[in-house]
Amino acid sequence: MKEIVLDTETTGISVKEGHRIVEIGCIELDNLIPTEHRFHCYLNPERKVSEKALKIHGYTDEFLSKQKKFDEIGEEFLNFIKDKRLIIHNAEFDLAHLNNELSLFGKKKIKNEVIDTLVLAREKFPGSPVSLDALCKKYRIDNSKRTQHTALIDCDLLAKVYINLIDQKEPTLNFQNQEQEINQNNNVNYYKKIIKPTEEELLKHKDYLNNNLKKNFFN
């Protein structure tokens, strides 16, 4: 199954306050494996970025003023996601902004199936922090490149978090069938398997010694 991990960055939180999207990032998964198909663009929001948002993603008004507007990339974006399942962290936020942009573009709202990893994380870890950074820490995913929020980096991290959340992470080595014991201190003790010779093998060995070795080495 093909899925799309999606993330956006915006000028601020609320669509009702006129905030717009400044970046869209998408990574395609094919049976949970990232493909080479990606969609990424910066957008001119045609308004100023709030101070809070600027601290989060670092995209200045000057930089964004030189980018394309949503109506210039809208069709390409819709063709990329098509009817694929969308994987989004805090989907309510991203979908509100995407649907707002689409309405301004004269398009219908997104009807794709959506998996919200924020909801999955809250169900799996009730009462625990479930931000993307917190989940990376929980699953020991390296997020050192995430010095600021950027859509593609966040998508890459979210793809790894998503795979862990649905318990489809790459299998770890299991030595239980190789006579391994793990004690309470997490120390691993290995035991060599003892193979005992059969009676027939013992007789053959004895016969070999009698016939092939000198009975008296010093003679």
d(CA 140, CA 122): 18
**C-alpha closest to that of 24 among 48, 45, 41, 44:** 41
Q: Is 82 helix (H, G, I), strand (E, B) or coil?
A: coil
Cα distance between residue 151 and residue 38, in whole Å: 11
Long-range CB contacts (within 8 A, 24+) of 64-68: 64/22, 67/22, 67/41, 67/42, 67/43, 68/41, 68/42, 68/43, 68/44
**Residue whose tokens read 């009702």:** 16
Instruction: Tell me if residue 149 is catalytic.
Output: yes
8: closest CA among 17, 19, 20, 21? Answer: 21
- Catalytic residue, candidates 19, 97, 149, 205: 149
* Residues designated as active site: 149
